[in-house]
Structure formats: C-alpha cells, structure tokens
Amino acid sequence: MKDLTLQKRKENFNERLQYEISKFRNLDINDADLIFFPVFRHGHYFIVCINTITKSDEIIDNKTLPPGVTEIDKYQDCPSLLMTALKEYLTAEKSPLLRKIQKLLVSHLVIHWKELDNVIDCGIYVMRHMESYKGNV
C-alpha cells in the first residue's frame, strides 16, 4: 500500500469505511462509544480503538515491547494517520461524531498478561479484545 499516493490511500479508506457501514444497513456511527480498527503491520495484528468513553485513541496489543524498543518505534505514526483519515471521513460525512474525537490522545492499554514470546496468536487476541473490551480501563 505504501506505493499508492496519499490521496489514493485516503480514497480507499473512505470507500472501505463507507462499504462496511452500508453492509450493516447504513449503521449510524454518530453515537459510537468504541470504534475498533484492527491493524496488520510488520506481520503482527493489534487494535487502534477510538474510545469516546475515556476520550482516548487506544492501542491494544498483546505483545510487550522488546527491550530497547519504544512505543513510538513500534507503532510509529499509525495511530495518528488512522485518526487523520477518520476525521477527514467524518468531516466529509458531516458527522457529529467528529466533535467527540477532535482531541483524543494516544494511549497504550495496560494489559497485565502481555507477553513477548507468543508470535502466532495476535489475530486471536485482536478478535477477543474487539468482542470483550467495553472501553473502561
């Protein structure tokens, strides 16, 4: 996807989001408390969760950071790019949800059972978190 222009990536994001919303008979996301975006990056799945309950842009990941690797090293600009794309989509749709997510700060959900060694079950963890996470830490 990196070989696509920024404009084309934005168009793809908007088209895909509109398609997913329409699949649920034009689901109204304007009063959403949690919006989950599963992310696959560098062979690993994690979640970026737009949480309007705690007013944060949460990264939910089952893997601990390896020694010497920071959160910025691992996730880079992924959360901010996703937020920018979502804000642009909501602006185009004139969605009132935009007001609720204007100034969310990125946070990393603290999970006491994170681990470094399990490199194959991250997709399962993503599905489980999206199924059970209620947005309150």
C-alpha distances (whole Å) from 14 to each of 31, 32, 49, 101 are 19, 18, 18, 17
Q: What is the pTM of this model?
A: 0.87
Cα–Cα distance for residue pair 65/55, rounded to 1 Å = 24
Confidence of residue 22 (pLDDT cuts 50, 70, 90): confident
pLDDT value, residue 117: 84
Contacts of 32 (CB under 8 A, 6+ apart): 50, 52, 97
pLDDT 10s digits, 74-122: 999 899 989 999 999 999 999 999 999 998 999 998 888 888 888 789 9
Query: What contacts 24+ positions apart, CB below 8 Å, involve 7-13?
Result: 9/85, 10/85, 10/88, 13/85, 13/89
Q: How many CB atoms lie within 10 A of CB 52?
A: 16
Supply the pLDDT for residue 24: 84
* Angle in degrees, CA 34, 49, 21, rounded to 5: 60
Do 21 and 89 contact (CB within 8 A), yes or no? no
Sketch out the chain's domains with CATH numbers.
Answer: 30-132 (3.40.395.10)
- List the one residue out of 84, 62, 116, 117 whose CA is nearest residue 14: 84
Q: What is the pLDDT of residue 137?
A: 56
